[in-house]
Amino acid sequence: MVLMEKLAAAWARRESLHGDSKTTAYRLFHGHGEGDSALNADRFGEALVLWLRRPEMVDLSAVTAFYQARLGPEVIVVKEGARDPGRLLLGSEPEAPLIVTEDGLSYAVDLLAAQNAGFFLDARPARQWLRCNSQDRRIANLFAYTGSLGVAARAGGARSIEHVDLQSGQLKRARLNHHINAQPVDDRDFQAMEVGRWLRIAVKKGRRFDGLILDPPPRTPHGRARFRRESLYRWGAQALRSGGWMRIFFNRRGADREAEGRAFLESVDLPMEQIWQGTSGVDFPEEAPGDRLSLVAYARP
């Protein structure tokens, strides 16, 4: 099957998303799982972002013509490589943050940011779960990034949400995401600190939460941000009240999910019960289950 046929099949596969007026951000073509790993394509409202993993293998003019005929984007951004901020192929850079929607909530994105626009599209099922399981809970969002998971939790009735991330600039974007959804926050809701250190301090001070969102990066970073997953799991479990849950992202491509689950349970040294397991949505198909984002929730009895 040639690339244009694969793009058409992927477009048809997302019919329910195309027709959802409350969701304007999702993946249009997921190369790894849809037959051509040279390309990913994402929709952000009226903008199209094309990720060229192997530019020499992609007929860019044919791909843009395909999406212009179906989506009619006002802006097209092309990126080559994980750290490329991209270049404009069509339209102009928005003067203000571009606002997209998901399940009726609004999020600000930066199309020309390196690596990611500030909104992980494959985490949509996690945000949906949080809206259904956060009522009246005090929640900490660890490795918060731009706060989309916390926004979803507040929309689901969370009593409070505390974002923790070493990157203060991303926490400013998290504050903006709460603001555009008319969700009140203050300075105490944003902690620019290494997550492991924050957890240790919270536990030693006797702070306890009804929910923890733990989304560490796939690979352990160096320098100030270094962490051991087992330590995060152990301290996180200790920071939970009885009946509290911990939402974990197992996001290392090709990892053994069952082994990761066992490692978690062995690390916490406390009774924990798995209450939910999910994965990324229909716009992120993968042939190998271990290549999909794994979403798991455990509760402390």
Output Rg (C-alpha) for the chain, integer angstroms: 19
Which are the contacts of 40, defined by CB distance < 8 A and separation ≥ 6?
27, 29, 30, 31, 50, 51, 53
Whether 186 and 163 share a structural domain: yes
Residue 146 lies in a domain: yes
Query: 0.75 cut: is pTM over it?
Result: yes
Q: How is 123-177 classified by DSSP, letter by letter? A: GHHHHHHHHHS-TT-EEEEET-TT-HHHHHHHHTT-SEEEEE-S-HHHHHHHHHH
Length of the chain: 301
Q: Is 246 left (phi over 0), alpha (psi -120 to 50) or beta?
A: beta
- Name the residue range of residue 59's domain: 3-109
147 shares its domain with 280: yes
Phi, then psi, of 145 in degrees rounded to 5: 55, -120
Indicate the residue type of 148.
S
Rounded to whole angstroms, how far apart are CA atoms 17 and 100?
Answer: 14
CATH of the domain at 105: 3.30.750.80
CA distance 109 to 66: 24
Domain boundary among 80, 109, 138: 109
Q: How far apart are CA 167 and CA 29, in angstroms?
A: 30
| Residue 186, domain CATH | 3.40.50.150
> For the chain, what is the domain count?
2
Domain membership of residue 7 (yes or no) is yes
Residues 87 and 27 in one domain: yes
* CA-angle at 159, arms to 153 and 164, nearest 5°: 60
Say yes or no: 142 and 206 in one domain. yes
- Walk along the chain (301 residues) and give the pLDDT tens digit of each residue: 699 999 999 999 999 999 999 999 999 999 999 999 999 999 999 999 999 999 999 999 999 999 999 999 999 999 998 789 999 999 998 888 899 999 999 999 999 988 789 999 999 999 999 999 999 999 999 999 999 999 999 999 999 999 999 999 999 999 999 999 999 999 999 999 999 999 999 999 999 999 999 998 876 555 555 568 889 999 999 999 999 999 999 877 777 888 888 889 999 989 999 999 999 999 999 988 778 899 999 999 9
CB contact at 8 A, 40 and 27:
yes
Of the residues 78, 109, 140, which one is the last residue of a structural domain?
A: 109
Return d(Cα 271, Cα 268) in angstroms, integer.
Answer: 8
